[in-house]
Structure 1
Amino acid sequence: MTVARSLIPGLDEIISHGDPERRAEAARRIAALFLQGAATFRSEHVDLFDGILSGLVPYTEIAARAELAERLSVIANAPRALVGQLAREDEISIAGPLLRRSPVVDEQALVEIARAKGQGHLLAMSERPRLSCDLTDVILRRGDRDVVRRAAGNTGALFSEPGYATLIRRAGHDAVLTLAVGQRDDLSASQLKELLSGTIDVIRRRLLEVAKPGRQSAIKQAMNDISALSERVESRRDFAPAQRTILALHHAGDLNESALLGFAKAHRYEESVAALAAMSGLKIATLDRLMSGDRHDPIMIVGKRVGLDWASIRALILLRLGPNRVPAPADMESARVNFSRLMPSTAERMVGFWRTRESA
């Protein structure tokens, strides 16, 4: 540190009583000195730089701190206190590089930051080469859609059992997340089947297309197991009485959204499916299969296609879940938002696709 003091006369005075401009200039010069010789400094030298820079760097401009953070993020012996200070800044251009890759930011600090900071910080740390279960638990609990997708696609991330349960639940409303989770090598066979049982056939087949060859056999097995289960479920349902009821309503001119809503609220599954089939032009077997999973997407797609209101969609979701299951308020709100954003043209294409599959 004698070198630093010789380069910057009066350094002690600047640190103690200097104005912000002088402190910023001193910080710039000392940081440059550290970066130049970081590879050769012993730990005691790094500690000396750390003590001085931690007091000076806050007086530099945002752009200067962001540049310094970027350069420090790849240095294994970067000043620990300074890195921790920068990684906790609210400005993501400063904290981001360190949260993404700095080996100096330890696990405890990462978890602390994940609990306190916003989505930009969570997104940055979700890109780290390694993520522990403790950290991903926090990321999944607080992260938005983009954060969770990024973490799920990170091959260096580890997830706890509750973490995977959260991923699978959130994937029920997010096809992109389903594809990311389904490609993970550490996903067990039972978790894979649970994931795919909550998605529609077109997404399952897309996952099969994009997965690595070594993962495809497990996906095929899960799809076969789900198909066999769906066939057994369909064989236990008798839609004939429901079809007669719906046909009578149709002839009387009373087959409409109000009638469908009444069937759904009364938990009359067969009548609801038969009514929705008649209104959409899809086969009963197709709708029954689409509604047997854990995803809300098919109901929202068909509902958007025939012009249903959210109240009817909500009733159909509750019908599919059964009288003894209540969805989390956050899940239902997510479904409502997704339904409002769903474009009629997109719904038209999907229903057309299902009709084509029926004909084939």
Structure 2
Amino acid sequence: MAWSPSLIPGLDDIVNNGDPRRRADAAHKISELFLAGAPQFRPAHVDLFDGILTGLVPHTEIASRADLAERLSMLGNAPPALVDLLVREDEISVAGPLLRRSPVVAEPTLIEVARMKGQGHLLAMSQRPKLSAGVTDVIVRRGDREVVRRVAGNAGAQFSQFGYSSLIKRAGGDGVLTLTVGQRGDLSAPQLKELLAGSADIVRRRLFEVAKPDKKAAINQAMVEIIGAPKQSDIRRDFAPAQRAILSLHHAGELNEAALLGFAKAHKYEECVAALSAMSAARIATIDRLLTGDRHDPVLILGRAIGLEWATVRALIVLRLGLGRVPSATDIEEARLNYERLAASTAQRVVNFWQTRQTA
């Protein structure tokens, strides 16, 4: 690379032998010269400045490098070798502006920086106008909560199947991330369903409230599949005797929560279903399908809709698993927390939906 001696007299000597002050002064003057003429420079001119500045800029103070990086980040023809040098700096005030917006930073460099640097670099990178799936894979894997939330909310970010699976997994313990991922336009229906299945009811409701109309429809459909359409039980049950017993209790004024709790503790499944049907005004067939589904959510919804205490709801959860099976401590604690968060009005709306559906 040939250097132009007309830029600064004695430039060769300054680069090779100059003291820090002379180098910094030369870097400032040449940087200003480049920035002033950048819109008109041809690639050969850019290469000339690139070769000179990469020998001078590293010797300048952090504040000077940070200011230069900020200005270079706006240019589509910034000196590539200089940008590559600055973007790898540990000092985030220098690397940050280039990571956030410079179009000159190549994807392999972004991936390398994402793998090697800290959370400040990842956070800056997550704000780029566009991010490939190769870059977001690394960001989601290495990023802390703030970084992952930020990249999930970046409409210009693309995610691979691995990236989305990781986001959904992390969203299980992060309501803010659930809301962010749930509003993405490129989230598929199966991914939305998986996201909602692992989230708390209060988060689901909030997501529905803030979602766009087309997304609301997708959320509704996902919730129907998760809660409203459980699998049919393979066991054929005769509910007629239980119906008669529950009707007698009702006429005697003794159909209450205490009776339901007694049936659940005694593992009297048919009586529990018949009692829940009478107390919720949902058909026995509907209650039976709900209790034999894969999740505890319908039990929580029924319990909240008819005002049951947690002890009764817990007994119903144990009942639906069958004799000899008990939920894990983690599952039962998660169910308890979800039950506490579940609003009675929301539960009643779901029960009303079940009632309307069974009528239709």
* Gap change, CA 1:128 and 1:284, over 3 Å in 2: farther
Q: Do the aligned residues in 1 keep the contact of 2:3 with 2:52 (CA within 8 Å)?
A: no
Q: Do the aligned residues in 2 keep the contact of 1:119 with 1:147 (CA within 8 Å)?
A: yes
Q: Do the aligned residues in 1 keep the contact of 2:201 with 2:341 (CA within 8 Å)?
A: no
- Asked if 1:17 is matched to 2:17, the reply is yes
| Structure label with greater radius of gyration | 2
2:310 corresponds to: 282
> Using the alignment, how far apart are the partners of 1:286 and 1:192 within structure 2?
28
Tell me which of 260, 265, 272 is aligned to 1:243: 265
1:228 corresponds to: 228
Cα deviation 1:230-271 (Å, max 9, x = unaligned): 6969x99x98665359xxxxxxxxxxxxxxxxxxxxxxx99x
> Using the alignment, how far apart are the partners of 2:42 and 2:98 within structure 1?
22
* Gap change, CA 1:170 and 1:288, over 3 Å in 2: farther
1:115 corresponds to: 115
- Asked if 1:76 is matched to 2:76, the reply is yes
Please list, as runs of the form range in 1=range in 2, the aligned pairs for 1:148-163 lying within 5 A after superposition: 148-163=148-163
Deviation at 1:5, TM superposition (A): 3.9
> Using the alignment, how far apart are the partners of 1:10 and 1:73 within structure 2?
29
> Using the alignment, how far apart are the partners of 1:127 and 1:164 within structure 2?
18
Cα deviation 1:32-77 (Å, max 9, x = unaligned): 1000000001101100100110110011111111110000001000
Deviation at 1:317, TM superposition (A): 1.8
2:33 corresponds to: 33
Deviation at 1:169, TM superposition (A): 0.5
> Using the alignment, how far apart are the partners of 1:74 and 1:286 within structure 2?
59
Q: Do the aligned residues in 1 keep the contact of 2:168 with 2:178 (CA within 8 Å)?
A: yes
Cα deviation 1:274-326 (Å, max 9, x = unaligned): 9xx9xx9436448978xx9xxxxxxxxxxxxxxxxxxxxx96226789xxxxx
Residue 103 of structure 1 aligns to a residue in which SS? Answer: coil
> Using the alignment, how far apart are the partners of 2:42 and 2:348 within structure 1?
74
* Gap change, CA 1:359 and 1:128, over 3 Å in 2: closer
Paired amino acid for 2:265: Q
Please list, as runs of the form range in 1=range in 2, the aligned pairs for 1:1-360 lying within 5 A after superposition: 5-6=5-6, 8-229=8-229, 243=265, 281-282=309-310, 284-285=312-313, 316-317=329-330, 351=340, 354=343
Q: Do the aligned residues in 1 keep the contact of 2:24 with 2:60 (CA within 8 Å)?
A: yes
> Using the alignment, how far apart are the partners of 1:27 and 1:123 within structure 2?
29
**Normalising by the residue count of structure 2, what TM-score does the alignment of the two structures yield?**
0.69
> Using the alignment, how far apart are the partners of 1:97 and 1:68 within structure 2?
10
Deviation at 1:204, TM superposition (A): 1.0
> Using the alignment, how far apart are the partners of 1:86 and 1:218 within structure 2?
45
> Using the alignment, how far apart are the partners of 1:15 and 1:135 within structure 2?
36
Percent identity reads 57
1:336 corresponds to: none
1:332 corresponds to: none
- Structure 2 residues without counterparts, runs of 5 or longer: 237-259, 268-294, 321-326, 350-360
Aligned-CA RMSD value: 3.6
Deviation at 1:355, TM superposition (A): 5.9
> Using the alignment, how far apart are the partners of 1:114 and 1:288 within structure 2?
49
Q: Do the aligned residues in 2 keep the contact of 1:172 with 1:199 (CA within 8 Å)?
A: yes
Q: Do the aligned residues in 2 keep the contact of 1:4 with 1:30 (CA within 8 Å)?
A: no
Cα deviation 1:68-104 (Å, max 9, x = unaligned): 0000001000000000111000011110110011000
Residue 130 of structure 1 aligns to a residue in which SS? Answer: coil
Cα deviation 1:318-344 (Å, max 9, x = unaligned): 6789xxxxxxxxxxxxxxxxxxxxxxx
- Structure 1 residues without counterparts, runs of 5 or longer: 246-268, 293-313, 322-346
> Using the alignment, how far apart are the partners of 1:36 and 1:10 within structure 2?
22
1:328 corresponds to: none
* Gap change, CA 1:229 and 1:284, over 3 Å in 2: farther
Q: Do the aligned residues in 2 keep the contact of 1:136 with 1:158 (CA within 8 Å)?
A: yes
